[in-house]
A and B are shown apart, each in its own frame.
Chain A
Amino acid sequence: MIHYSGNVSIQLNVNREIHEVVVMPQDTLLRVMREKIGYTGPKAGCENGDCGACTVLMDGKPVKACLMLAVEAVGKEVLTVEGLEDTEIQKAFISEGGFQCGFCTAGFLMNAFALLETNPDADEAEKKDWLSANLCRCTGYEGIEKALTLAQKRIQEKNNNKR
């Protein structure tokens, strides 16, 4: 049985790199990523699981890092916005006005990225189901919707070309 008490040294796989960090059991994954590993992309918008600004991927699935203990991420692959490189969704967010102040953007990108990886043929209902987990106050969601549509189209085209 694993028992962690007080300061404990763990290994976290974040953005394809193993990070050795000293954490306490009550530390959330969000705080550890931001304060100990240095990935400040995921944000503390509410630390209550309501806004989604802390969204990261854990083994490919979006999770709210503010509602997860860092020790739960041991043995998993965590991806933050800093781990995305030149993806269609990032490009589409830029061209279609998917952000204004940018504070919610990391969370939206991770969620949208995972959606398109998991189901590139997602329909409007599924897009709404996934993305209603994140709040944006600036864009009114129009730019985000357009970006998602464009990225999806490009990914579908790429997949078709591969066949």
Chain B
Amino acid sequence: MNTKDGIGTSLTRKESLDKVSGRVIYGGDNMTPQMLYAAQKTSPHAHAKIIKIDTEKAKGMKGIKAIFTGDDYKDNLGLYLCDKPPVARNVVRHYGEVVAAVVADTYANATAAADAIAVEYEVMKPILSPLEALSDDAYTIHEEMGSYSHIKPIHPEPGTNVANRTKIRKGNPTEAFKSAHVTIETFVEIPPGDHVAMEPRVAIAEIKKTGYVHILSSTQAPFVVKGLMHQFFGIDQGKIIVKAPLIGGGFGGKAGIQLEGLAYLLSQKVGGRPVKLVNTREEDLTGSPGHIGLQAKIKIAADAEGKIMGMDMDYYFNSGAYADYAVNVSRAAAISCTGPYYVPNIRCDSMCVYTNMPFATAYRGFGHIEMSFAVERAMDELANALKMDPLELRIKNGIKPHDTTPVQSVLNESTGDIIKCFEEVGAMLGGDIGATQQLENNTVRVKGVTGLWKAPAMPTNTDAGAILTFNSDGSCNLNTGVVEIGQGTKTGLAQIVSERLGIPVDKVHVVMEVDTSVSPSDWATAASRGLMMAGMATLEACEDAENQIKEIASAVLRVPKRDLKVDGERVFVPDEPKIGLNLSEVVLGYVYPNGNAIYGQVIGSGKYIAKHLTDLDPETGEGHPDLEWTLGAEGVEIEVNLNTGKYKILKAVCCIDVGKVISPALARGQIVGGMAMGMGYTTMEGFTFNDRGQVTNGVLRDYKIMRYGDEPEYQVKFLETPQQDGPYGARGLGEQSVIGMPGAIANALSRAVGKGMNQIPLTPEKVWKTSMEVKR
């Protein structure tokens, strides 16, 4: 066991020095002489017919190599539901939709030409909310839905604006509501918004004469891109090489397929020359997808003691103009629809609804942050109705091992201790969660808490792999398909190797970039399972390598394999350590003094595939899609000036059961980062629209995210109830801390003003307005 820098120690990241020296080459930093540059033209309208695209002037401008419009590609692309042309064809369905692309010798020339393209639109009325899209007289945004191909677990409803519906039916909710002591009903709303990763998306595509397609992209899912490029364009899988360098933040927005398809089509138009397609910030915000919106109606029924008897819920997710990942987001939210509470009777319909708004892809929390806002607001309303402390209500109903989830899977012992999480959060906030502390100048101090949970919503065959090779000095190289998006998984995996094989972590060299032609397959760097799944694969690769090392040493030392140990960069007999070899002597084969060489190089390989996952029953939602559950609780303390509505989040706390903390500093970084993102999401983000559906805050000047100085005091506590099938007991933690923030903040603010605040973002003006409503 290498305890010096193995698991549980906080190491600096492997790529640290390059990151602080400007030496990391992100996707957009690649510039080669043969490269051509693409610029996009986007729609200023939320819903319009394209009458004519006039490219005459643009074609004749300096340096123009090709112009691409909707007519250049007759099919649709799509992750689960093929509903989206690479650029708009005949109709634009959201503000910011790409209507044309230009390839030129310089980006400036491409941009000038894109500006010179004249598009004639017939503007039509847009649909600007899910409920509007579901109303009887709403027009159908995707008239050809019936002809779209889609994967089996998705159930689109042609003739309507429902791209997917997931039903959860558990127990007998009607009866539960009839016999309840108290029932409450809440309605919440969240607008669509954006990831705002600091790096705008980029894709560089090149098609060689041999037919090999090279894609370099800021992608979290290089293997998904590879698979979809094959599916859409018929390219042999072996001839698609996708490379993912270090990424400047993903947060789910760079999973799936982003700019790669269009970049490929553009390269095709210029004879396969490398074409670099980079989003401007404006295009990244509204052209490429953001996060899903929601309108939701939640009803909870409880007995006199506050035990929840049933939940009745309608989630109307706002997918925007295209389905992308959103159809799975709405499904994932359904799987977790109750929040981390045991609910025996459930009726839930989770719908993914089209609107004429910027469309949604995966986002940190994957539907859980939206679902959690709805449920946690309802929980506080229930606490109010019962005159019960909000923390006590949650503790009373927290889900435990052997309880069933909404999909009727059974939580096993490998599940976090949410009751303890609630208790810790209560302690970190100093208790008395339901109290309002009056200060002078009409200012109050309030607290709010939420429970959170998440299971990754992945394909049932989600997988990871790891390959370990060695250098002549006994150091090793770890190759996995996990992308480094800032979460530090590469360093965490190195720690796992270090722990398992006893090699110092600075001698575990991690391949930073992912190259689908040489990295083992990996479903995607998403769903907070990189460390868990790649970690398990890595452990298997370590075991495999260790076995081979022992094999060689056994022959040379004439000792049975079972009597050997690998540690401290040696392989040796534990009770007679002098009998041993340095790893450097065996890892590339052993050479006897007389020159004979045996065995050859050690190559360790490992893999992981999720076990026993099933899809959901289309009528009841019953199934086992949930690989593992991470549970936790969060809370905030806020000071609110009721005169102005301005408030300051003083403290943000999180207790999360992660199974095992592989690297304390990296883990804390993820949790704190997630809390900050959740705070921005709740208090100041979200797209704003005019009544024509145009986004009015489509630049960072207007779309505000948290800044230095906005942050509260963060307190984080980890619990370690082991995940039995995770590496060293670890389970996922990358996303979870974003999930509980909207509910916690809204619960605190609702308490401050004395009325439910259920509409995100919770701006100071809304706080003031609501507080005025209460006073009147």
Contacts and interface: CB of A to CB of B under 8 A. Distances in A.
Interface residues of A, number: 51
Interface stretch (B194-202, B236-244, B376-384, B748-756): B194-202
Contact of A105 (B19, B699, B714): B19
A132 B709 contact: yes
Contacts of A131: 708-709
Given A81-B22, A94-B12, A102-B246, A140 B676 contact: yes
A101 B707 contact: no
A82 B705 contact: no
B251 interface: yes
A105 to B, nearest CB: 6
Interface in B268-307: 280-281
B312 to A, nearest CB: 36
Contact of A100 (B669, B706, B709, B711): B669
A140 B29 contact: no
Interface in B1-48: 12-13, 15-26, 28-29, 31
Contacts of B251: 137
B486 A102 contact: yes
B708 A97 contact: no
B708 A128 contact: yes
A121 interface: no
Contact of B21 (A53, A82, A97, A137): A82
A85 to B, nearest CB: 9
A134 B485 contact: no
B714 A138 contact: no
A71 interface: no
Interface in A17-55: 34-35, 39-51, 53
A152 B415 CA distance: 43
A144 B708 contact: yes
Interface string B485-516: 11110000000000000000000000000000
A147 B39 CA distance: 38
A118 interface: no
Contact of B246 (A34, A35, A47, A101): A101
Interface string A52-85: 0100000000000000000000000000111010
Given A35-B31, A139-B673, A99 B19 contact: yes
Contact of A138 (B20, B28, B673, B707): B673
Given A80-B22, A140-B706, A45 B198 contact: yes
B22 A106 contact: yes
A94 B488 CA distance: 13
Given A44-B28, A100-B487, A142-B714, A137 B669 contact: no
B239 to A, nearest CB: 30
B513 to A, nearest CB: 14
Interface string A94-114: 110111111111100100000
Contacts of B709: 128, 131-132, 141
A58 B8 CA distance: 43
A139 B24 contact: no
A135 B29 contact: no
Contacts of B248: 43, 101-104
Chain A contact residues, majority secondary structure:
loop
A137 B701 contact: no
Nearest to B198: A103
B638 interface: no
A126 B701 CA distance: 22
Given A100-B673, A101-B486, A40 B29 contact: yes
A102 B19 contact: yes
Most B CB within 10 A of own CB, among A104, A109, A136: A136
A84 B672 contact: no
B387 to A, nearest CB: 35
Nearest to B17: A94
Nearest to A89: B20
A46 B282 CA distance: 8
Interface string B198-222: 1110000000000000000000000
B700 interface: yes
Contacts of B225: none
A45 B53 CA distance: 30
Nearest to A27: B108
Contacts of B19: 99, 102, 105
Contacts, number: 160
Interface in B683-721: 699-701, 705-711, 714
A145 B710 CA distance: 12
Chain B contact residues, majority secondary structure:
loop
B665 interface: yes
Nearest to B30: A40
A142 B672 contact: yes
Contacts of B281: 45-48, 50-51
A146 to B, nearest CB: 11
Interface in A111-163: 127-128, 131-132, 134-145
B677 A48 contact: no
Contact of B200 (A39, A40, A45): A45
B30 to A, nearest CB: 9
A89 B665 CA distance: 18
B554 to A, nearest CB: 42
B249 interface: yes
Nearest to B666: A97
B675 interface: yes
B309 interface: no
Contacts of B198: 43, 45, 51, 53, 101, 103-104, 135-138
A101 B13 CA distance: 11
B199 A141 contact: no
A26 B672 CA distance: 41
A104 B673 CA distance: 14
B668 interface: yes
B326 interface: no
Interface string B658-677: 00000001101110111111
B724 to A, nearest CB: 29
B257 interface: no
A98 B699 CA distance: 26
A143 to B, nearest CB: 6
A40 B17 contact: no
A137 B677 contact: yes
Given A139-B673, A140-B673, A140-B706, A45 B280 contact: no
A137 B711 contact: no
Contact of A103 (B249, B280, B677): B249
Contacts of A84: 21
Given A50-B699, A105-B20, A138-B673, A97 B668 contact: yes
Contacts of B88: none
B22 A137 contact: no
A103 B251 CA distance: 14
Contacts of B746: none
B486 A100 contact: yes
Contact of A43 (B15, B199, B672): B199
B105 to A, nearest CB: 13
B163 interface: no
Nearest to B668: A97
B536 interface: no
Most B CB within 10 A of own CB, among A39, A49, A98, A105: A105
A45 B705 CA distance: 14
Contacts of B701: 48-50
A137 B246 contact: no
Nearest to B19: A102
A47 B248 CA distance: 16
B711 A82 contact: no
B262 interface: no
B26 A103 contact: yes
Given A104-B248, A140-B676, 9 more contacts: A41-B21, A47-B281, A94-B17, A100-B488, A101-B198, A109-B20, A137-B705, A138-B198, A145-B708
7 contacts: A39-B22, A41-B23, A48-B281, A50-B699, A90-B21, A132-B708, A137-B195
- List the 6 closest A-B pairs by CB distance, nearest first: A41-B22, A101-B486, A103-B248, A140-B676, A102-B19, A100-B486
